[in-house]
Chain A
């Protein structure tokens, strides 16, 4: 059984120009001990999906569908029921960890705060645990007493990861944890997360806009486009052969380094722009940009179907 099962999840933001369906009928299972990558371009709803799992969406946002965790539906829970799940069972590494720290508190106190909220430990115990966690992330014992502005971006990102595992959660949702870092820091953060996943038996939902980053550490990859899931498969399977034209476009827009000499690489991009989520195109949402578009694509909405064993695609023609 999956650790977290998302069924037909739809998240609507109310705006002045009508409702925006940032996530539209997504079904997805997150297994135990796996790193699931969630990829898509900016504004495709991947962060909204990640935040909707814990109902951490702005007031007035409508969520429908189910998020099943241990047989219970998180969508139907109220705040006090959710507060027992948040961070203790499912934690979150926020997008932009640089500003996710309170500038007035020491680094270790903020990590300890998460422990104090969920566990009946004393302040000094929590601080000792926090220091230990931060040390595990390679933050030296002097820096744990520092204020956030005294730490570098990479250190803050690592401190944020330490915070996310402070209460031994089962699932960590990492919302673009490497986005604002340089490649060396990215590599470090990725290997930290990979180690943690193995050591603690975590499940990680890794949200990113980069297929290559996700391909590095994820066992399965889900691709989102304009609020909908378009492809879901094992990482190897998706890199070997992707079926959805959007995923193919994402692949083709990345340079390949290990190529044989006589192989010629055509670097291409996906033409057009992502559609507006308040007035999405009819039929398949990708059809205005799709090189293989046919009549059926303009009329009928797509559904996820299993095209190979464990490889799901939402495309009429694949």
Chain B
């Protein structure tokens, strides 16, 4: 594709080479090309992040819509569950869960997705609470419209921008979490991610011997990707959020 090397194959003649025209990002301790690895790693990192974000959005939006629209005891219960998820320290929980069910990519996606919804559901609920009191909702009810019609045609489209912005923010967090997990050695062994590259650079002692090209590029990629998602998400939030708060970072 972009580079003429297989990220999995190396030659022992080219171990830990610094950046050169042949290997722009250098090579690792078994002679694999690092540019190829970084490009391949982006797949797993983005896939995990975006899928987890979408799962969070699905759960968070449904919970927020139901809790906000119907309220009552059920809504209160859903919000207490969301609070419980918010106060659990997530990293230790993910570590334990992944250890129990095995470090596979689909497991990581599932766990990160399930842990990301409470924030979205809270924001969506508060919006729905104010939306459902608006006169146009009352008017549609006086059409004889059902609850599901009101939710799907009026409430959901109105909260959609906020769901989008918050999904992007959750995606950023998920990418960072995935990198953390992979760095700690809980990445899927079958899929290379930026965190995994960092993991191996740490194991091979790249920092000690000063092989900066081994850990800088994946680190920078993680940072810039997370920053990118965070900036876009926050900016969208600032534009869509009717509270008028201007948060830049």
Give per-residue flags for B143-175: 1 if the beta carbon is below 8 A from chain A beta carbons, else 0.
Answer: 111100100011001100000000000000000
Contacts of A85 in B (CB 8 A): 144
Q: For window 94-150 of chain B, which residues contact chain A by CB distance below 8 Å?
A: 134-136, 138-146, 149
Residue of A nearest to B154 (CB): A102
Contact B144 A84 (CB under 8 A): yes
CB distance from A26 to the nearest CB of B (A): 20
* Assembly CA distance A194 to B153 (angstroms): 33
Q: How far is the CB of B65 from chain A (nearest CB, A)?
A: 16
Of residues 205 to 248 in B, which have CB atoms within 8 Å of A's CB atoms? Answer: none
Assuming the contacts A102-B154, A104-B157, A104-B158, asked whether A113 and B135 have C-beta atoms less than 8 A apart, the reply is no
Assembly CA distance A269 to B138 (angstroms): 36
In the assembled complex, how far is the CB of residue A89 from the closest CB belonging to chain B, in whole angstroms? 10
Number of B residues, CB within 8 Å of A = 17
Is the Cβ of A56 less than 8 Å from the Cβ of B144? no
| In the bound complex, CA of A84 to CA of B144 (Å) | 7
Q: Is A13 an interface residue (CB 8 A)?
A: no
With A and B bound together, what is the CA distance between A147 and B111 in angstroms?
Answer: 42
Instruction: Please name the residue on chain B nearest to A51 by beta carbon.
Output: B142
Is A87 engaged at the interface, CB distance under 8 Å to the other chain? yes
Among B136, B138, B149, the residue within 8 A (CB) of A117 is B149
Check A94–B157 contact: CB distance below 8 A.
no
B-facing residues in A53-108 (Cβ within 8 Å): 54, 56, 82-88, 91-92, 94, 96, 99-104
Would B135 and A83 count as touching, CB distance under 8 A?
no
Query: How long is the Cα–Cα vector from A88 to B135 in the complex, in angstroms?
Result: 20
Closest Cβ of chain A to B103, distance in Å, is 44
B144 touches A94 (CB 8 A): no
A114 in the interface (beta carbon within 8 A): yes
B144 close to A87 (CB less than 8 A): yes
On whether the beta carbons of A94 and B143 are closer than 8 Å, the reply is: no
Q: Is the CB of B144 within 8 A of A118?
A: yes
Output the least CB separation between A4 and chain B (Å): 16
| Residues on A with beta carbons closer than 8 Å to the beta carbon of B138 | 56, 94, 100
Say whether A117 contacts B143, CB under 8 Å: yes
Q: Is the CB of A117 within 8 A of B145?
A: yes
Cβ 8 A contact of A96, one of B135, B142, B146, B157: B135
Report Cα–Cα, A87/B134, bound state, in Å: 19
Contact A99 B142 (CB under 8 A): no
Interface residues of A (CB under 8 A from B): 54, 56, 82-88, 91-92, 94, 96, 99-104, 113-114, 117-118
Please, could you name 12 A-B residue pairs with CB atoms under 8 Å apart, sorted by A? A83-B146, A86-B142, A86-B143, A92-B139, A96-B135, A99-B136, A100-B135, A100-B136, A100-B138, A113-B140, A113-B153, A114-B143
Excluding A100-B135, A102-B154, A117-B145, 5 further A-B contacts by CB distance (< 8 Å) are A56-B141, A56-B142, A86-B142, A101-B139, A114-B143
Q: Which residues of B contact A (CB under 8 A)?
A: 134-136, 138-146, 149, 153-154, 157-158
